[in-house]
Structure 1
Amino acid sequence: MSELGRVLRLDARRAALLLAVPLLAGIGIVTAWRSLVPGVGYWDNSVVALINSVRLLGPVAAGLAAWTAVRERGLNYLRDLSPRSPATGALLDLLLLAGAAALAYGAVTVVVTVETMLRQEAGHPYPLGLLAGTASLVLHVVIGYLAGRAVPRPATVVAVAALTWLWAALRPPGTSWWSLLPPAALDRVELFTVLRTSVLADQTVWAMGVTAALVLAYVGWVTRRRAVAVPMVLALLVTGNAMAGLQGSGGSAVVPAPVRLACREWPLTVCVHPALRSALPALMAATTPLATRLSGTPGEFNRVVQRPATEPATVAGGTASIHLDDELSPGYEVRAVRQIMRSLADTQACASPRNPGYRALVDAWLLGRAAPPITDMRTARRFGQWTEEQRRGWLRTHYADYRSCALAARDFRLSVTPRPADAPRPSPRPLKPRRADGLPK
């Protein structure tokens, strides 16, 4: 019993491995943080960042587990003195190492979750995503530790870390279904798309199945019991079924999904993806002047809606469709207005415009910018002297030519000429008194 107590004390002393938790947590936080979309709180991308962090966190955890197994090989003779099963010590080590890795991954999850909640988050968190990342990390720990037990050499630590890193690095995201095997390589989730929960479930089952098969194989090898072959085969069958599910996904972990947009109603109706609702004030301020100047023309709109990048930007039926950057990089509102402007042009007719200077002159006014220099200075001067109301009336009359890039100098001459400012009229002279015959007195 004294030898058993000594072994138990040695096992408990190995709790110092928890010092590896800050190291793993720090690596995971840095990796996940770099994968997050700046300024956007989209839960799907937060889950992707957590899953992708295992691609670097996993090899480190596998190397630490292999190092632990190699370092503790000198204690094997003490375990042999106890009445415990020869597999008990290794299972306790695996339990401790897996718990440390899961604790570190939990710290990474907390940081990513807080960062997402501090933003104007959209979408829904995926518990399966957290489970998939944890299962993948535990699999790395099991692979590293069992490799260190099988080949207790210092070179094993380097080999395990290098091979697990190569397994992750050589599978870039979006290439094939192989990239979905843990540790998965997932692309950033674009707005108006969501993660497929079936893929996350298959990843979790695959990692847990491989982990169970490896542990059972090791127990059977150490204890020489054939009974573990049955659950090991079942674990492999479950793993194969999960692999078939990942293969059937076609290598894609996302699917398009309808989204309830976030809107602002006045003076226009501007709607964007909920993750980008912070863009509403700037978009409202940028599109309202353009909508006012286009009122009464076939290109008028009173509604601006963000659409997926796969759909064209158009102006039809009073609605202007635009695209926005997921990161809301500087100048996004200007680019949105230019998308609306491009939608107003006839693509085929404007491929070879008669005189691009005239359309540029009108475009500058619509965008609220200074008029560009053109060769016809007289027309530019005349257009510059018109009032805002006169320009809007002129555009309603000549919108077809503007849209087809067919404006000419005569279009500006034939327009309603601007009236001079109203000057006070001289008061009429008082009439002189007249005689009965009509002559002045």
Structure 2
Amino acid sequence: MSDLGRVLRLDARRTALLVAVPVLTVVGTAAAALSLCPVAYWDNAVVALLNAVRFLGPVAAALAAWTAVRERPLDYLRDLTARSPATGVLFDLLLLSAAALVSYVAVTVLVVAITLVEAEAGHLHPLGVLSGAGALVLHVVAGYLTGRAAPHRATAALVFAATSLWAAARVPGVSWWSLLPPAAFDRVALFTTLRPEVLADQLTWAAGLTTALILGYVMWVTRRFLFVLPIVVALAATVTATLGLHRSGGGAVTPVSAEPVCRDWPLTVCVHPALRDALPRLIAAATPLAARLDGTPAAFTTVEQRPAWAPLTVMDGVAAVHLDEQLSPGYAARAMRQISESLKDATCTTPPNRYRALVDAWLLGDDPPAVPDARAARQFASWGETRRRSWLRLHFTDYRACALGPADFWTSRTPPTTHAMRDGLTAPRQLTAPRQLGRGN
């Protein structure tokens, strides 16, 4: 009974391994912070967790190997009991895995809290969270069993070096190899999402290999070959997951539609839910431009953010824009410039037409550029807002074709409103509230 008590007290002292939790938590938090984007997008929260495992895994593996080496000389105490020789190893793996998972949960809670505080968008991928946990447990198991197989002082350092090289040998988005746990992911752009099948394959890969390692060690120490079939099944699952990741070709994301967030006055402006903070500035920047283009073929009452791969057009009263996801300074002005550039006809050539640039500066509220004919510039500058809008209606075809010249400004001595009325055009109408679309913020 005294020997059994010594063994039980030894196993109880294994709980001291929980001191590793703060260390792993600090490492995981620092690693997740490097990948966590300012824009709260749930896909990027999962990416931050998965990328954190690339740093957290080698540390956990090294701690597990160090524990195995440190406790290996005390195995004779466990041999004094009637328990299976694999019991102590499985108990150690349970404690080490629990310590690593507690730190992983702490990092997960922090990342989720940060995402919730922001204007979060998208949906959390539970498979992604489980995939990171599976990869972390795999590191613990591999590190501990390596320490058991090679109980030397240098084993922990070698395990840390090997797992660090394994994690570093991945370049996001280059090859399917980068998707093997611990996977490396790029930041997920808006209007895309992580592919669930990739996350499922990663979880299966880590779980299958972890199971095979544990059962293989148990079979080795117990000499019971009935574990061969479960090991074969676990390895088959790992191979199947590997083939699935190979078929993905390194593509971990797929396009996805997102229900936009909109404001409907005085224009309808719609953006990705993660960028709802951009609405006030976009409305303020788009309203003057929409008023100046009112009555032309490029008139619009709606501005919509489109994915980066979608073309920029002004069609049927809808102006499409692209936004940078970080909303860096000047994003609203850049979006309005995109609308202006999308009005160019295919006949526009380089070098740019300076007279068109003069009109663009007025449309965008910029300082007017220098033009070859100073008289035309003075003429345009002397007109009021109403006269400029009427003039643009008459000369919009030349403006779109980048064919404006000094004669277009010289021949406008009479008020353009007179020409507009003669050609059947009316005076510029006031920009009114767009049709309500049933969406709002």
- Report if TM-score (shorter chain) is over 0.5: yes
Structure 2 equivalent of residue 13 of structure 1: 13
Stretches of structure 2 that go unaligned for 5 or more consecutive residues are 417-441
SS in 1 for 2:154: helix
> How much has 1:369 moved relative to structure 2?
2.0
Choose from 356, 359, 362 the match for 1:359. Answer: 356
Q: Give 4+ residue runs of structure 1 displaced > 4 Å after superposition.
A: none
Choose from 377, 385, 389 the match for 2:374. Answer: 377
2:126 matches 1:144 = no
Structure 2 equivalent of residue 281 of structure 1: 280
The total of aligned residue pairs comes to 416
> Amino acid of the residue matched to residue 135 of structure 1?
G
For residues 358 and 103 of structure 1, what CA distance do their matches in structure 2 show? Answer: 65
SS in 2 for 1:271: strand
Structure 1 equivalent of residue 55 of structure 2: 56
Structure 1 equivalent of residue 68 of structure 2: 69
Structure 2 equivalent of residue 30 of structure 1: 30
Q: 2:306·2:322 contact (CA, 8 Å) conserved in 1?
A: yes
Structure 2 equivalent of residue 317 of structure 1: 316
2:365 matches 1:368 = yes
2:403 matches 1:406 = yes
Q: What whole-Å deviation, never above 9, does each CA across 1:128-164 have from its counterpart, x for those lacking one?
A: 1111100100000000000000000111111111111
Q: What whole-Å deviation, never above 9, does each CA across 1:191-248 have from its counterpart, x for those lacking one?
A: 1111111111111111011000000000011111111111111111111122222122
For residues 112 and 256 of structure 1, what CA distance do their matches in structure 2 show? Answer: 24
Q: 1:262·1:274 contact (CA, 8 Å) conserved in 2?
A: yes
> How much has 1:415 moved relative to structure 2?
1.7
For residues 55 and 304 of structure 2, what CA distance do their matches in structure 1 show? Answer: 39
Structure 1 equivalent of residue 101 of structure 2: 102
Q: 2:53·2:132 contact (CA, 8 Å) conserved in 1?
A: yes
> Amino acid of the residue matched to residue 362 of structure 1?
V
Structure 2 equivalent of residue 133 of structure 1: 132
For residues 265 and 359 of structure 1, what CA distance do their matches in structure 2 show? Answer: 31
Q: 1:385·1:418 contact (CA, 8 Å) conserved in 2?
A: no
Q: What whole-Å deviation, never above 9, does each CA across 1:305-329 have from its counterpart, x for those lacking one?
A: 1111111211112111111111111
Q: 2:193·2:255 contact (CA, 8 Å) conserved in 1?
A: yes
Q: Which moved more, 1:112-121 or 1:240-249?
A: 240-249
Q: 2:300·2:314 contact (CA, 8 Å) conserved in 1?
A: yes
Q: 1:46·1:116 contact (CA, 8 Å) conserved in 2?
A: yes
* Residues 36 and 347 (structure 1), Cα distance of their counterparts in 2 relative to 1, 3 Å cut: farther
2:329 matches 1:301 = no
Q: 1:70·1:149 contact (CA, 8 Å) conserved in 2?
A: yes
For residues 89 and 262 of structure 1, what CA distance do their matches in structure 2 show? Answer: 56
Q: What whole-Å deviation, never above 9, does each CA across 1:30-72 have from its counterpart, x for those lacking one?
A: 111111111x111011011111110111001000000111111
The 5 A counterparts of 1:117-128 are: 117-128=116-127
Structure 1 equivalent of residue 428 of structure 2: none
Stretches of structure 1 that go unaligned for 5 or more consecutive residues are 420-441
SS in 2 for 1:194: strand
For residues 265 and 318 of structure 1, what CA distance do their matches in structure 2 show? Answer: 14
Q: 1:37·1:326 contact (CA, 8 Å) conserved in 2?
A: no
For residues 372 and 203 of structure 2, what CA distance do their matches in structure 1 show? Answer: 67
Tell me how large the CA RMSD over aligned residues is.
1.3
For residues 146 and 367 of structure 2, what CA distance do their matches in structure 1 show? Answer: 70
For residues 223 and 408 of structure 1, what CA distance do their matches in structure 2 show? Answer: 91
> How much has 1:350 moved relative to structure 2?
3.2
Q: 1:24·1:60 contact (CA, 8 Å) conserved in 2?
A: yes
Q: 1:66·1:145 contact (CA, 8 Å) conserved in 2?
A: yes
Q: 1:387·1:418 contact (CA, 8 Å) conserved in 2?
A: no
Q: 2:347·2:402 contact (CA, 8 Å) conserved in 1?
A: no
Structure 2 equivalent of residue 156 of structure 1: 155
For residues 416 and 42 of structure 1, what CA distance do their matches in structure 2 show? Answer: 55
2:43 matches 1:44 = yes
Provide the identity percentage.
62
Q: 2:312·2:321 contact (CA, 8 Å) conserved in 1?
A: yes
> How much has 1:352 moved relative to structure 2?
4.1
> Amino acid of the residue matched to residue 377 of structure 1?
A
The 5 A counterparts of 1:176-215 are: 176-215=175-214
> Amino acid of the residue matched to residue 288 of structure 2?
P
